[in-house]
């Protein structure tokens, strides 16, 4: 860390902290993730090694670049490229949403980044506006793989830890389905496409049960399999939803704001059934 000057804190979490730093030799501004725990803790060691392995695998123009990794006094530091803004800030500056061409540009780049992750069997699991970095030329970089996991036929059904910020969390995640996969990222892309279109979060649930409610209010009822999962889940014991047979629909929600093609694309991303949800390769073809 001697060659870096700390300029400020960019983000903080259970893992540690992300700092905005200047390279004293080159003057370059970088983002440095400093892991909290020392490497002595075996679980932390395993999770940080998993994160670095994923990051080293995922070099793509729409994924923030890992410049270097080093250890100092038993702590791991990851040095990344720094991008001035994130999408949350851009949405705060444009509360009525972004022009359709910019929505298309950002969603296309996000689909390219996620397609690259999924081709490498990596599920990001926490796609949200804060994790989408935007350059002045409107190039987009996906960041923060702290929750990312590799999904393979061997570990399918073992992805138990809940992730994803609530508003962007797919129904199967909310219902506690342990066999979830890449489709959770496609759902989040659909949520972000809606938010970019009118500046409002599409499903702003205030709790996990409310999240399932606000989703169904727009998209219609859970599938039969999801209803079974809901009724079997002790977290939701004794709870039931009102009649969801007359949902708002995306058509009504975005009337006059999305072309028919864009609406069809968004509906594909927000299919309640993860097996019917648009996957990343098809999303790229359909843009």
Ligand X SMILES: Oc1ccc(-c2ccc(-c3cc(Nc4ccc(CNC5CC5)cc4)n[nH]3)cc2)c(O)c1
Q: Which residues are annotated as a binding site for ATP?
A: 34
Per CB under 6 A, the list member of 145, 168, 180, 265 interacting with ligand X is: 145
Instruction: Say whether 12 sits in a helix, a strand or coil.
Output: strand
Nearer to ligand X, 31 or 184 (CB): 31
Q: Which of 40, 126, 137, 177 is catalytic?
A: 126
- The reply on whether position 124 binds ligand X by CB under 6 A is no
Cα 196 from Cα 194, distance rounded (Å): 6
Q: Name the pairing type of β-strands 29-35 and 66-72.
A: unpaired
Query: Minimal distance in Å, beta carbon 138 to ligand X?
Result: 15
Query: Minimal distance in Å, beta carbon 62 to ligand X?
Result: 12
- The reply on whether position 123 binds ligand X by CB under 6 A is no
Helix 260-269 / helix 100-119 crossing angle, nearest 10 deg? 30
Per CB under 6 A, the list member of 77, 82, 106, 265 interacting with ligand X is: 82
Residue found under tokens 């392995």: 53
- The reply on whether position 86 binds ligand X by CB under 6 A is yes
Per CB under 6 A, the list member of 21, 48, 51, 274 interacting with ligand X is: 51
Token output for 52 = 């670095």
Q: Name the pairing type of β-strands 66-72 and 122-123.
A: unpaired
**Part of the chain binding ligand X (CB under 6 A), chosen from 81-89, 166-174, 233-241, 243-251:** 81-89
Reading across the β-sheet that carries 16-23, which strands appear in turn? Answer: 4-12, 16-23, 29-35, 75-81, 66-72
Cα 11 from Cα 88, distance rounded (Å): 13
- The reply on whether position 144 binds ligand X by CB under 6 A is yes
Write the binding mask 155 to 184 for ligand X: x where contact by CB under 6 A, - elsewhere: ------------------------------
Q: Cβ distance 203 to 215 under 8 Å?
A: yes
Degrees to nearest 5, angle at CA 79 with 107 and 134: 25
Per CB under 6 A, the list member of 143, 174, 262, 283 interacting with ligand X is: 143
Whether residue 126 lies in the annotated active site: yes
Chain residues that interact with ligand X, rule: CB under 6 A? 10, 18, 31, 33, 51, 55, 64, 80, 82-83, 85-86, 89, 133, 143-146
Active-site residue set: 126
């Amino acid at each position: 860390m001697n060659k870096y000057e700390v300029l400020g804190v960019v983000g903080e979490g259970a893992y540690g902290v992300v700092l905005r730093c200047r390279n004293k030799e080159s003057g370059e501004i970088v983002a440095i993730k400093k892991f909290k725990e020392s490497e002595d803790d075996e679980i932390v060691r395993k999770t940080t090694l998993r994160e670095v392995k994923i990051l080293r695998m995922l070099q793509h123009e729409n994924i923030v670049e890992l410049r270097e990794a080093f250890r100092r006094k038993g702590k791991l530091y990851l040095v990344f490229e720094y991008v001035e803004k994130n999408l949350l800030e851009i949405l705060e500056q444009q509360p009525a949403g972004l022009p359709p061409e910019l929505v298309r540009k950002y969603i296309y780049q996000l689909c390219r980044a996620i397609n690259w992750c999924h081709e490498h069997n990596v599920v990001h699991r926490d796609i949200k506006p804060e994790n989408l970095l935007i350059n002045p030329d409107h190039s987009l970089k996906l960041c923060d793989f702290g929750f990312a996991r590799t999904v393979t036929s061997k570990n399918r059904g073992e992805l138990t830890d809940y992730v994803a910020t609530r508003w962007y969390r797919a129904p199967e995640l909310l219902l506690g389905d342990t066999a979830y996969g890449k489709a959770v990222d496609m759902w989040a892309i659909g949520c972000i496409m809606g938010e970019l279109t009118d500046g409002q979060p599409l499903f702003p649930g205030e709790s996990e049960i409310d999240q399932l409610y606000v989703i169904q209010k727009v998209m219609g009822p859970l599938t039969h399999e999801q209803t079974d999962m809901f009724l079997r889940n002790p977290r939701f014991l004794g709870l039931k939803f009102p009649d969801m047979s007359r949902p708002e629909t995306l058509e009504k929600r975005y009337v006059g704001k999305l072309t028919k093609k864009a609406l069809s694309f968004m509906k594909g991303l927000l299919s309640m059934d993860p097996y019917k949800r648009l996957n990343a390769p098809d999303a790229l073809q359909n843009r």
